[in-house]
Amino acid sequence: MATASKKRYWVGFDLGGTKMLATVFDKDFKALGSRRKKTKDFKGSRAGLVGITKTIDDALQDAGISRKQVAGIGIGCPGALDLERGVVVQSPNLGWRNVALKKSLEKIFSCRVALANDVDAGTYGEYRFGAGQGARCLVGIFPGTGIGGACVYEGKIFRGQRSSCMEIGHMHMQPKGGLCGCGRWGCLETVASRLAISEQAAAAAFRGEAPHLYELAGTDLSSIRSRTLATAIKEGDVVIEAIVQHAAKSLGVATASLVNLLAPEVVVLGGGLVEAMPQIYLEQVRKAIHEQAMKPFRTSVRVAVAKLGDNAGVLGAAALVADESHDRR
Amino acid sequence: MATASKKRYWVGFDLGGTKMLATVFDKDFKALGSRRKKTKDFKGSRAGLVGITKTIDDALQDAGISRKQVAGIGIGCPGALDLERGVVVQSPNLGWRNVALKKSLEKIFSCRVALANDVDAGTYGEYRFGAGQGARCLVGIFPGTGIGGACVYEGKIFRGQRSSCMEIGHMHMQPKGGLCGCGRWGCLETVASRLAISEQAAAAAFRGEAPHLYELAGTDLSSIRSRTLATAIKEGDVVIEAIVQHAAKSLGVATASLVNLLAPEVVVLGGGLVEAMPQIYLEQVRKAIHEQAMKPFRTSVRVAVAKLGDNAGVLGAAALVADESHDRR
C-alpha cells in the first residue's frame, strides 16, 4: 500500500469571517507549515473556494509537502452546516449559501475532507491538545462577537440528534431582554457578547465616561475590539471594566446552569474577550459557578482558559478528519 | 451453565419519597408481577431496606418467580447517588445518608444490582419502551414537586463526568427570583414546580379568587396535588388555570434553551403536573420552542407526553441493569 503510506499528513483549516488559516500537521500533529489570509479578499463562495485552495497550497509549500501526501483536510466553519453532506447551508459571516465545500475540496485535493462547526473544532482541539486534555466531559465557551459553545463527551463532539449544537449564546437569560441576532429576545448574546459589551461601551464613551476608549475607538461599535476594551481598562476607564465584569457575570450565570445540566469535568473559556481579559472571565465564571451551581457539580468542575489560541481550530479540525479516517478504515 | 440460564428475570424498582414499586419482568420486559408499598411505612434506611426487600419478594411471589431466578435488580432512587459504588449519598426525600443500597441488596438477592437516579431511570424507560423509542437524543422533563430532567444520548444516559446530571429544575431563570430548595435563588423550580404553583394557588384561594380549589384543599400547600389543580380548573377556577399556564410557559422557555443546547430529536414531558394537565403542558412547551428555539433545532424536535406513567421508572431500571449485565458479560 505505497500510496496509503505516503498519505500521512493532515491539514487543519479555520475558515473565519475575518481570516482563514491553514496548518499542515504530521501524524503526531506537529505543525510543519502554515498560512493565513484575509477572508474578505475572496468574496462569494466561488472566490472563497479559490482562496481556501490557495491558502492550503501555500501552507503545504511552507511545510514542503505535496498535495499527494495529504491524507485528509479538516475544516472548521461558522454558520449552519449539513455535516453529513459537508455543505455550508448558510453562513452569514461568510455570506455563503448551500456551498458543497466537502465535495469541492475532495475533488481538488483527492483526499478525505471533513467539515465541522468552528467552535466544535476549536473545543475539540482544546480537548485533544490543550486545556481540557482527556476530560470525560468538557464544555467550551467562546465569547467573542457572538458566544459559541461546544461539548466533547466521551471523546466525541456532542451532536444531539445529528448536528452542531450547544448554542450557549442563545440560552434565554433575560425575560425582558434586548433583540438578539437570532431574531429572538433576551438571549445570552444580548448581554454578554462582545457586541453587547461594545454597545454599552460606545454609549459610555458617548456620554464622556470612558475617555480612553473614546480616544482609541470613538463611539463606533466596529472599532471596539476585545483588545481595545482591555487597553481602555488598563488605561483607567473604570466604567468599561464595570461593563465587562457585568457581562462576564452573566456568562458565569449561564455557565453555572450548564454545569447543573452537563456536570462537566472542565469548562474551557476561550475566544477574543477571554484572550484579552482572562482574569476577569476566570474570576467571574468561577464565582458564578460557586454561587449558582449545585454542590456535587461545582466541587468537581475545573474552569480553565483555552491554551491553544488561534491554533485550537486548525488542530481540532485536523484531529477530527484523522479520527474519521481511522474510524472508517 | 444451568444456573445462568435459570437467572433470566429482571426486577425494576422505583424508590419514591411517597411510594415504592417493584415489578418483575421476563427477558422481553413483559411484566409478570408487581407490588407497591408506602415509603413512609418504613422510616430510616434500615427499615427502608426491609421495606424494599419485602416489596421485591411480594412482587416475585405475585409473578411466581423465586429469588434464584432473578438475574438483576435495577433501582431508581431520588437524591445524590454514588453510581459507581451504588451508594445513596444523600436523599432528602427518603431521609437517607450514605446507604450502601447496591451492596446490601446484592447480598440479600445474590444477583447484580444497579442503582440509577429516578428521573434517569424513567427517561430511559420512555426511551426504550415509551414515547421516545429509538431517538438518537432524547430529553425527558418531569415537572412535579420539583422538576427532574434527563437525557438519553446515543442509547445511554448522559452522565457528564460520571454522575446523574441534567438538573433542569436548577437552570437559572429569574435574576431576581425566589428561594429554591437547593439554597440558591431564581431556579426554574421556583417558578414552574408544583410547589411553586401551589404557593400561588394557595394565595389565590386565600384571596377568595379560587373557590373550587379552596373547597378541595383549603390554603394548605400539602393538600394541593396535581390532580387537585386539574379538578379546580375543570370546575371553573380561571385564576388557577392562569397560574398553571404561566408556570408551563416558564418550563417551555427553559426547554427551548435546552433544545438550543442539545438539539434533541424528542422532548418527553412527564411527571405529576403533565399527567394531570397534558394539554396545557404540550401547548405551552411547543409554543415556547417555536418562539425561542433556533430554526434548525425547533423544526426537527418532537414534543411528546410520556406514555408509561408510573411504569417508566421500573421498566427503565430493569432495562438498565439488563444492559449492564450484557455489557460486562
pLDDT tens digits for range B234-258: 999 999 999 999 999 999 999 999 9
CA neighbours closer than 13 Å in the CB half-sphere of residue A252: 21
Element (H, E) at B116: strand B112-117
Task: State pLDDT tens for residues A273-318.
Answer: 999 999 999 999 999 999 999 988 999 999 999 999 999 999 999 9
Q: What's the distance, CA B44 to chain centroid?
A: 22
- A247-263 burial by CB neighbour count: b if 16+ within 10 A, else e? bbbbbbbbbbbbbbbbb
Give the per-residue pLDDT at B5: 58
Whether residue A3 has pLDDT greater than 80: no
Q: How far is CA A21 from CA A43, A165, A272, B121, in A?
A: 16, 23, 16, 46
Please answer yes or no on whether A294 and B167 come within 8 Å at the CB atom: yes
Q: Helical H runs in A183-271?
A: 189-192, 194-206, 211-217, 226-234, 238-262
d(CA A151, CA A165): 9
d(CA A272, CA A270): 7
Task: Please give the average per-residue pLDDT across B97-102, as a whole number.
Answer: 95
Task: State pLDDT tens for residues A131-150.
Answer: 999 999 999 999 988 999 99
Tell me if residue B233 falls in helix, strand or coil. helix
Q: Which of A160, A175, A296 sits opposite B264 (nearest CB)?
A: A160
Give the per-residue pLDDT at B241: 98
State the smallest CA–CA distance between residue A187 and chain B in angstroms: 9
d(CA B23, CA B31): 7
Please answer yes or no on whether A161 and B263 come within 8 Å at the CB atom: yes
Give the per-residue pLDDT at B328: 61
Task: Please give the average per-residue pLDDT across A58-75, as a whole number.
Answer: 97
Report which DSSP code applies to B179. B
> What does the mean pLDDT of chain B come to?
94
Give the per-residue pLDDT at B149: 97
CA neighbours closer than 13 Å in the CB half-sphere of residue A329: 9
At B39, list the grid cell: 415509603
Give the per-residue pLDDT at A1: 41
**CA Rg value for chain A:** 20
d(CA B230, CA A117): 45
At B209, list the grid cell: 379568587
pLDDT band at B2 (very low <50, low <70, confident <90, very high): very low
B276 contact partners, CB below 8 Å, separation of at least 6: B226, B227, B229, B230
d(CA A150, CA A313): 12
Nearest CA in chain A to B160: A263
> What does the mean pLDDT of chain A come to?
94
Q: Dihedral (C-alpha) B44, A294, A156, A12: value to the nearest 10 degrees?
A: -170
Give the per-residue pLDDT at A305: 98
Q: Give the helix, strand, coil percentages of chain B, each rounded to 5.
A: 50, 25, 30
Tell me if residue B33 falls in helix, strand or coil. strand
At A136, list the grid cell: 470525560
State the smallest CA–CA distance between residue B270 and chain A in angstroms: 18
| Residue A134, burial from CB neighbour count under 10 angstroms (0-12, 13-18, 19+) | exposed
Instruction: For chain A, give the longest Cα–Cα distance.
Output: 70
Q: State the CB neighbour count (10 A cutoff) for residue A179.
A: 11
Element (H, E) at B48: helix B44-63
Task: State pLDDT tens for residues B116-143.
Answer: 999 999 999 999 999 999 999 999 999 9
Task: State pLDDT tens for residues A4-32.
Answer: 558 899 999 999 888 999 999 999 999 99
Task: State pLDDT tens for residues B132-187.
Answer: 999 999 999 999 889 999 999 999 999 999 999 999 999 999 888 899 988 889 99
DSSP codes, A5-63? HH--EEEEEEE-SSEEEEEEE-TT--EEEEEEEEGGGS-HHHHHHHHHHHHHHHHHHHH
What share of chain B in percent tops pLDDT 90? Answer: 86
Given a contact cutoff of 8 angstroms between Cβ atoms, the answer to whether A182 and A170 are in contact is: yes
Does the model's pTM come out above 0.90? yes
State the smallest CA–CA distance between residue B38 and chain A in angstroms: 29
Q: Which of A137, A256, A292 sits opposite B161 (nearest CB)?
A: A137
Task: State pLDDT tens for residues B45-86.
Answer: 999 999 999 999 999 999 999 999 999 999 999 988 999 899
pLDDT band at A165 (very low <50, low <70, confident <90, very high): very high
Task: Please give the average per-residue pLDDT across B24-31, as a whole number.
Answer: 97
Please answer yes or no on whether B136 and A161 come within 8 Å at the CB atom: yes
Q: Which of B136, B254, B260 sits opposite A162 (nearest CB)?
A: B136
Report which DSSP code applies to A45. H
**CA Rg value for chain B:** 20
Residue of B217, B223, B203, B225 whose CA lies nearest to B145: B225
Residues of A with CB under 8 A from a CB of B: 80, 135-137, 149, 153, 158-163, 165-168, 170-172, 174-175, 182, 184, 253-254, 256-258, 260-265, 291-292, 294, 296-297, 300-301
Residues of chain B with C-beta less than 8 angstroms from the C-beta of A167: 260-261, 294, 297
Please answer yes or no on whether A292 and B260 come within 8 Å at the CB atom: no
φ/ψ of B6, rounded to 5, equals -70, -35
d(CA A134, CA A160): 21
Residues of chain B with C-beta less than 8 angstroms from the C-beta of A136: 160-162
Q: List B141's β-bridge partners, or say none.
A: B149, B269
Give the per-residue pLDDT at A236: 98
Whether residue A176 has pLDDT greater than 70: yes
Task: Please give the average per-residue pLDDT across A86-94, as a whole number.
Answer: 88
CA neighbours closer than 13 Å in the CB half-sphere of residue A150: 29
d(CA B118, CA B195): 19
